[in-house]
Structure 1
Amino acid sequence: MGRGDMKRLGLLPWLAAGLAALPGAAQAHLVNSGLGPFYDGALHLLLSPGDLLGLLALALLAGLRGTTAARAAVTALPTALLLAGLIGLTLPVIPNLAWLSTLAFMLLGVLVAFDVRLPPVIIAALAGVYGTLLGLLNGSTLATMDAGVGSLLGIVLTAFMLVLLASAAVVPLHAFWARITVRVAGSWVVAVGMLMLGWLAQGAV
């Protein structure tokens, strides 16, 4: 592993800490971008660190498993997110389930860190379950803010692009050091999740 690779690994803790330091309240507010509901939804997702970490972990996991798994994740995630989001728009307020979404992305991070060899159908199922969770939570949140399908579509398309680009970047990585770097990123997702769970527990006391 060269000096440049070590520098990349050294940046991961700072990246994770930066994501964790983003205000958690961003998940509960729809930011007005001034560009319309679609972009408001996209910005809402980009300012939700927990959701971003889950999408990143899912993309890394799918990319490690190859092209077929990546394609399965890219198809299943936005489909489940859209359908569940439409249901969420019709639901009453869902209780704060930040701990559940945190545990979900931590599980994905563990699978990445240990490079668990899952078949594409399981990757698709994980993407579908995670997309359903995000859809229900985000759809319910949008409903409380009188936001509609336009904002939901912004969330769905942004999630689709993030998973597509991140998984496509990982698929061609075959060198040992490159795959280790991806696994280290997964371990930092887990570490950030542990910090977030600690904050949630402290806030609940």
Structure 2
Amino acid sequence: MSAPTRRMSIAAGLLVAGIQPASAHIVSSRLGDFYAGALHPLTDLQDLVLWFSLGVLAGSLGAGRGRWIMVVFPLGLLIGLLSAHAIGALSAGSALNAGMTLLVGLLLAAALRIPILLLCAMAFALAVIRGAANASDLAPETDRFLFAAGLGCIGYAAITLVMALTVAFRQAESPMVWRGIAIRALGGWIAAVGLMMAGLSLAS
């Protein structure tokens, strides 16, 4: 064995011998519970569908009306998280989540100009229920303040981003007729997803 090969073999052996278990789990870091609160809803299909459809509904009504849920929705998430023990069984009901998805999809498909108060009430109720649902995985050692901060931040960011994209899509320079039809068609698909979710929940 040549000298360079021998030196490379020794270096490789030292590297292998020095391997330590990786401590890369985010929960072990200082802000782990913040990231857990922010990422938990993004791993739940019900949250993804409901948050997305609510953001599209708010954006389809225009920036003036939709901006109110930028405050109402995160607030509802936090209240739901705090009151999870009181409404835990309600938030766990898949039929209720399916019904909310179906309702939002039908409102989009019908292109109804619902009042601001009704939109805020819907957003608040949906947020409270989903906030309570996200409390199901809280462990005794979880920092609830950081978890709630992460949940509220991701709720604000998700709703704002989807709503802003919907508003920008509707206000583009090309003719708006087909864009409105596209949003209504998307509402029909969301309603179909809600209907399938309701069927699965009743079947189980």
TM-score (normalizing by structure 1): 0.74
Q: Give percent identity, aligned residues only.
A: 27
2:164 counterpart residue number: 168
In structure 2, what residue type is equivalent to 1:166?
V
2:197 counterpart residue number: 196
The alignment of Structure 1 onto Structure 2 pairs a total of residues equal to: 169
Q: Say which of 85, 93, 100 aligns to 2:96.
A: 100
Indicate the structure (1 or 2) with the bigger Cα radius of gyration.
2
1:149 counterpart residue number: 145
Q: Is the 8 A contact 1:51 1:101 kept in 2?
A: no
- State yes or no: 1:39 paired with 2:35: yes
Structure 1 residue 92: deviation in Å? Answer: 8.4
2:53 counterpart residue number: 57
Q: Is the 8 A contact 2:35 2:147 kept in 1?
A: yes
**How many angstroms apart in 2 are the aligned matches of 1:92 and 1:131?**
12
1:25 counterpart residue number: none
Q: Is the 8 A contact 2:87 2:132 kept in 1?
A: no
Unpaired stretches in structure 1, ≥5 consecutive residues: 1-31
Structure 1 residue 133: deviation in Å? Answer: 1.4
Unpaired stretches in structure 2, ≥5 consecutive residues: 1-24
Tell me the alpha carbon deviations over residues 20-48 of structure 1, each in whole angstroms, 9 at most, x when there is no partner: xxxxxxxxxxxx75461111222210111
TM-score (normalizing by structure 2): 0.75
**How many angstroms apart in 1 are the aligned matches of 2:146 and 2:102?**
30
Q: Secondary structure of the equivalent of 2:67?
A: helix
